[in-house]
Amino acid sequence: MAVPKYIYEHKNWTAFTWQDKLINAVFGEVRQLQGKIIGQMNALGFSAKDEVKLTALTLDVVRSSEIEGEVLNYEQVRSSIARRLGINSAGLVSSSRHIEGVVEMMLDATQRYALPLTEERLFGWHSALFPTGHSGPYRIEAGRYRTREMQIVSGALGKEKLHYEAVKPDLVKKEMDKFLDWFNNENSVDPVLKAATAHFWFIIIHPFDDGNGRIARAITDMLLARAEGSGERFYSMSSQILSERKLYYQTLQRVQHSSGDITEWMLWFLNCLKNALLATEIATQRILLKSEFWKLHEHTSVNERQRLMLNKLFDGFEGKLQTSKWAKITKTSADTALRDIKDLLEKGILKQSEKGGRSISYELAKFRSE
């Protein structure tokens, strides 16, 4: 009898186990941080809270696709989410059919988190991810379970390295029925631990031709929303997974060969979630500062170019702000950019940076609201 190579080759492979004593400390920290962040958000003003929510959801959509090597336009994603949630956001732009589909899936998972997860719903998500029935140049089976073998390989032709061979296609439906039954009816496991388990279980089945990672992360977000009893997302798990992508894949690769103990995966997942929550605390401080600034300057005359650039400075502008960069980002002339900057210098909003360099650069002047 052949020795099982993958976890799904073991009998009763979905009877997952983990060592509570090894995960309890970080699990406790995660639950405490979730409560703390929800408390912080409830203390925010309406517009600041909307800003945090919009940023978190946008990052979740953008980063989840980026993990798969696909770069989505941040502003298009943000606009699509703002429109669907009825959030008033300046500078709304139209977005592509593909982006609308990705956003639709994520919002369905997080805003309607209490509804059952069904085969029909999953097929709808998959169709939304691949509205043309293609993934890049390749035709795929969109909106249904795969009927082909699934191998994850890397490397040049002739030198491929096999990372994973998924459940056989004729077993996918049976395995997914079991998964969905557990997802909808298992209530004895804490939703955070259930989110970790669901992510791993779904990835192991790999039920679709493509998009399995993105759907697994949507399922994760759905269960995290249940854990918090709220569809309001204030942190992005996908952003943190992207930061830890190498460890994410390494952990999956090791645990896919286990006989049912998934402690190592649970530990990684909980630590990743903890880091996502900690990153949100820092981002929230930035949003609070931005909110305070605009409250202070609600009657200050600024044009759309100036508003755009000031928001970029609060959102974490990369590099030095120089006239040439201002002109490039706002798609205007160097003379207009310089006029915009001089106007903000006179209003005490910007100041010349004291950091040396051959070119003059600018930064936000300190401000206080009292």
Residue 297 lies in a domain: no
Overall pTM > 0.75: yes
Where residue 283 falls among pLDDT bands split at 50, 70, 90?
confident
Residue 53 lies in a domain: yes
Q: What is the mean pLDDT of residues 303-310?
A: 94
Query: 113-150 pLDDT, tens per residue?
Result: 999 999 999 999 999 999 999 888 889 999 999 999 99
357 conformational bin, left if phi > 0, alpha if psi -120 to 50, beta if neither:
left
In residues, how long is the chain? 370
Residue with the bigger pLDDT between 85 and 286: it is 85
User: Which of 288, 317, 346 corresponds to the end of one domain?
Assistant: 288
HSE on the CB side for 249, CA within 13 Å?
Answer: 12
* Residues of the domain holding 79: 7-288
CATH number at residue 22: 1.10.3290.10
Pair type for strands 151-154 and 161-165:
antiparallel
User: Which of 253, 288, 323 corresponds to the end of one domain?
Assistant: 288
User: Do 139 and 190 fall into the same domain?
Assistant: yes
Q: What is the mean pLDDT of residues 200-224?
A: 97
Residue 90 is predicted with a pLDDT of: 61
Query: 264-278 pLDDT, tens per residue?
Result: 999 999 999 999 999
User: Do 93 and 137 fall into the same domain?
Assistant: yes
Residue 370 lies in a domain: no
Residue 132 lies in a domain: yes
pLDDT, mean over the chain: 91
Maximum Cα–Cα distance across the chain: 81
User: Which of 238, 254, 288 corresponds to the end of one domain?
Assistant: 288
Residue 1 is predicted with a pLDDT of: 53
User: Do 205 and 284 fall into the same domain?
Assistant: yes
User: Do 140 and 282 fall into the same domain?
Assistant: yes
Query: 50-66 pLDDT, tens per residue?
Result: 888 898 999 999 999 99
Residue 219 is predicted with a pLDDT of: 98
What token pair was written down for 335? 């003379």
User: Do 65 and 134 fall into the same domain?
Assistant: yes
User: Do 54 and 127 fall into the same domain?
Assistant: yes
Residue 1 lies in a domain: no
Q: How many domains does the chain have?
A: 2
Say yes or no to pLDDT of 166 above 90. yes
Residue 40 is predicted with a pLDDT of: 83
Residue 354 is predicted with a pLDDT of: 81
User: Do 140 and 207 fall into the same domain?
Assistant: yes
CATH number at residue 310: 1.10.10.10
Query: CA dist 234 to 38, 74, 107, 260, 362, Å?
Result: 8, 17, 13, 33, 31
User: Do 221 and 93 fall into the same domain?
Assistant: yes
Say yes or no to pLDDT of 370 above 50. no
User: Do 275 and 346 fall into the same domain?
Assistant: no
User: Do 198 and 330 fall into the same domain?
Assistant: no
Query: 215-256 pLDDT, tens per residue?
Result: 999 999 999 999 999 988 899 999 999 999 999 999 999 999
